[in-house]
Chain A
Amino acid sequence: EDQVTQSPEALRLQEGESSSLNCSYTVSGLRGLFWYRQDPGKGPEFLFTLYSAGEEKEKERLKATLTKKESFLHITAPKPEDSATYLCAVRPYSSASKIIFGSGTRLSIRP
Chain B
Amino acid sequence: DTEVTQTPKHLVMGMTNKKSLKCEQHMGHRAMYWYKQKAKKPPELMFVYSYEKLSINESVPSRFSPECPNSSLLNLHLHALQPEDSALYLCASSQDLAGLTGELFFGEGSRLTVL
Contact = CB atoms under 8 A, between A and B. Distances in A.
Contact of A42 (B40, B101, B109): B109
Interface size class on chain B is: 20 to 34
Interface stretch (A11-19, A60-68, A69-77, A92-100): A92-100
Contact of A97 (B31, B42, B103): B31
B36 to A, nearest CB: 12
A104 B38 CA distance: 13
Interface in A27-61: 31-32, 34, 36, 41-46, 49, 51
Contacts of A41: 88, 109, 111
Contacts of B55: 97
A88 to B, nearest CB: 9
Given A43-B106, A97-B31, A104-B42, A32 B101 contact: yes
B104 A96 contact: no
